[in-house]
Structure 1
Amino acid sequence: MQAQYPFNVRVYGLLINEQQELLISDEQEYGIRFSKFPGGGLEYGEGLRDALKREYLEECMVEVEVLEHIYTTDFYEHSYFNDSQIISIYYSVINKTPFNILFRQLAFDFGTQVGEVLQSFRWVKLTDIKPEDLTFKTDRIALQELLNQQRGCAL
């Protein structure tokens, strides 16, 4: 019998506002803090773009339009949270409806939230963001791909 290896397919949206700022999600789950792009796991029966729209609606209460592909994981990445292999797909997105959430200035400023799972959002200027501002390797690579595209650089 062949061994089965669980795959965890994730989809993320890189959203740049009119002030040339990138949206970052700061989260804490069961004591682990991380900064990443908004998005999450693909559910069974869902396409990538539909999953990304759902994730933005759930997390940010905003409808987005999925634009172009930025990056897909092309190396082995073990999950931080369980025994699965992560495959992450990144798209650029724009919001179709206005945001109706409170944005924070500082990382991990969860305000008065309590519980095992916390989340806040902040904008970071494209000119200021560094790969080290993000926790996960795949997010860092996707950021670099985005910045290369913004500068009109080819790989």
Structure 2
Amino acid sequence: MQALYPFNVRVYGLLITDQNEILISDEQEYGKRFSKFPGGGLEYGEGLRDALRREYMEECLAEVEVLEHIYTTDFYEHSYFNDSQIISVYYRVRNKEPLDLSFKTIAFDFDAIEGDVFQSFRLVKLEDLKKEELTFKTDRIALEEFFKLENLPRK
């Protein structure tokens, strides 16, 4: 049975390093490329913070502490992948151990060359990240909200 109102709840974490860099995930799924903050979909029976910790463990092999709420979608957002409405929730997160990822300097510099799903990570200096580098409107707004909360200047 299909849901009457197909909502897709997503949760994302903005991870800022001690060097003032922010973690960006560059991904490709089924021919669509996008750059976003790490995170993903809420599973049934799961809370937002638990989902975010799970997503960071799955995507980044990193245990994170979920800190303050940054932003929740407050407008209609249609899914990039299917016919659902996206509701995205953003938190600031802190890694509990050093990140053990292979960081790239160029977007979409994937190691794998076969399959339908690819992912690579970049650490970008906060002052250098332009919101236009993020694919999704909700990520762009969350970044702006983060800068407001932190009283950080924007270029």
TM-score by length of 2: 0.94
Alignment of 1:57-76 (within 5 A): 57-76=57-76
1:27 maps to a residue whose letter is: E
Which is further off, 42-51 or 106-115? 106-115
Question: Shift of the alpha carbon at 1:113?
Answer: 4.2
Q: Deviations over 1:24-60 (max 9, x none)?
A: 0000001100000000000000000000000000000
1:105 maps to a residue whose letter is: T
Of all paired residues, the percent bearing the same amino acid is 73
Alignment of 1:81-100 (within 5 A): 81-100=81-100
Which is further off, 111-120 or 10-19? 111-120
Aligned to 1:49: 49
Does residue 39 (structure 1) correspond to residue 39 (structure 2)? The answer is yes
Question: Shift of the alpha carbon at 1:152?
Answer: 6.2
Q: Which runs of 5+ in 2 are unaligned?
A: none
Q: Distance in 2 between matches of 1:29 and 1:41?
A: 15
Question: Shift of the alpha carbon at 1:111?
Answer: 2.1
Aligned to 2:134: 134
Q: Distance in 1 between matches of 2:104 and 2:128?
A: 16
Does residue 22 (structure 1) correspond to residue 22 (structure 2)? The answer is yes
Aligned to 2:80: 80
2:112 maps to a residue whose letter is: T
Q: Distance in 2 between matches of 1:113 and 1:54?
A: 26
TM-score by length of 1: 0.94
Alignment: residue pair count:
151
CA RMSD of aligned residues (A): 1.3
Q: Which runs of 5+ in 1 are unaligned?
A: none
User: Does structure 1 retain, via aligned residues, the 8 Å contact 2:112–2:118?
Assistant: no
Which is further off, 44-53 or 94-103? 94-103
